[in-house]
Amino acid sequence: MSVLDNLLSVIYFAVALLIALVAHEYAHAWTAVRLGDQTPKQAGRLSLNPKPLVDPFGTLILPAILLLPVLFGGGLFPVFGYAKPMPLNPWSLRRGERDVTIVALAGPVINLVLAFIFGLLFRVLAGSAPPADLILRCLQVNVILAVIHLVPIPPLDGARLIARFLPPRAREVYANLDQYGALFILLIFFLLPGPIFAFVDVIGNGVCSLVVGAACLG
């Protein structure tokens, strides 16, 4: 691939990540408000405006680092990002812990829905570059976001899912680990990437096979 092709891939990935992140966070906020907690709305999270979502590391620095291999032709590295943690008051939810689980699942679920939508569009537009290239990147990023967020490590949604099943004290400690989210993400991507990437490849390519009939993550 030429330098221009690599640069276009970076732009497509950046656009795809913006779409996927905004949809992911909006789904969390919309679900929480529907289940009785107005905190996300009061914090400006019930919006498609990306500004309230920006976490300096998770939304800007991490994606920029992960896009460097794409820019220099190093192949598809899992392009991923995350937003600033959404404020949530579980005491305002109608059914407490059950609703916390639903709110946590809403983000990955909307990314899966978008993956199927972009997958159908890709089937229609296959061979029609550059639109098909952008659609493919949107498919890939939504699959990656959905799968990685199921990993039970703060600040990912999987941590909130597993916290429900921990004893109260352990749950409190686990919840407080969100503030160290950047360290956990660095650990995942740069020190112990093997098991996580293998998980993403197996599950993500399984989803891709359902959507477009073939693996799509490298």
The catalytic residues are 25
What are the angstrom distances between the C-alpha of 44 and each of 35, 48, 58, 143, 169? 17, 10, 19, 26, 31
Nearest to 24 by CA among 6, 1, 40: 40
Q: Which of 60, 79, 57, 59 is nearest to 69 (CA)?
A: 79
Instruction: Name residue, tokens 């993403």.
Output: 200
Q: Count CB atoms within 10 A of the CB of residue 159.
A: 20
CA distances from 28 to 110, 123, 195, 216 (A): 9, 29, 27, 26
